[in-house]
């Protein structure tokens, strides 16, 4: 796992010990995505603008979710086994962001939810339900899960 300041100590963009990802590099990437979305939104059609904003919001929500999970684990809210299970689900959502964004952009009112979207929601809900067995559960992790699920369901008719 990484600790606060580790990305700075190892250099921006450096891999974090234990196979993790750089913290600062993700933040910079999120800011770049949101800035690009804002710049392109000013000149594109309304639906294109909305799709860019939604994609940026989903990317940011997933990064917030990763940080909330990391903070909960580092705060000893739950054990290593849960951390591994939660991490696998969250990593799968992160890796599927391009497919999620594409599916959500093309998801029309009245159509069933795309499988990639339902899979992500199901995985996040499993974490959410599992957190109900933790005493006390991580409020920030639950809030991040709910935010991500809400964004994934935003295109639902």
**What is the per-residue pLDDT for 90?**
96
Looking at the 3D structure of the chain, how many domains does it have?
A: 1
- Distance, in Å, from the CA atom of 8 to the CA atom of 137, rounded to the nearest integer, reads 30
Asked if residue 157 belongs to a domain, the reply is no
Domain range for 103 is 6-152
Whether pTM > 0.85 for this model: the answer is no
The pLDDT, as a whole number, for residue 96 is 94
Spell out the residues 6+ positions from residue 71 whose beta carbon is closer than 8 angstroms to its own.
Answer: 138, 140, 141
Within-domain flag for 1: no
- How much is the pLDDT for 8? 41
Q: Is residue 80 part of a domain?
A: yes
21 within domain boundaries: yes
**Position 92 in a domain:** yes
CA distance 141 to 86: 10
Per-residue pLDDT of the chain (157 residues; tens, 9 = 90+): 444 444 444 444 444 444 454 455 555 555 555 555 554 444 444 455 555 667 788 999 999 999 999 999 999 999 999 999 999 999 999 999 999 988 888 888 788 989 999 999 999 999 999 998 888 888 999 999 999 999 988 865 4
What pLDDT was estimated at residue 77? 93
Identify which of 20, 101, 29 has the alpha carbon closest to the alpha carbon of residue 66.
20
């Amino acid at each position: 796992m990484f600790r606060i300041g580790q990305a700075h100590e190892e250099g921006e963009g450096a891999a974090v010990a234990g196979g993790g990802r750089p913290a600062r590099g993700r933040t910079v990437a999120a800011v770049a995505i949101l800035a690009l979305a804002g710049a392109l939104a000013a000149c594109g059609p309304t639906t294109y603008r909305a799709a860019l904003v939604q994609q940026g919001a989903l990317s940011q929500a997933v990064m917030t979710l990763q940080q909330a999970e990391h903070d909960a684990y580092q705060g000893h809210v739950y054990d290593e086994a849960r951390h591994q299970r939660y991490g696998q689900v969250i990593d799968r959502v992160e890796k599927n962001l391009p497919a999620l964004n594409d599916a959500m952009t093309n998801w029309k009112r009245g159509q069933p939810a795309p499988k990639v979207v339902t899979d992500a929601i199901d995985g996040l809900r499993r974490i959410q339900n599992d957190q109900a067995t933790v005493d006390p559960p991580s409020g920030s992790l639950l809030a991040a899960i709910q935010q991500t699920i809400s964004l994934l369901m935003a295109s639902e008719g």
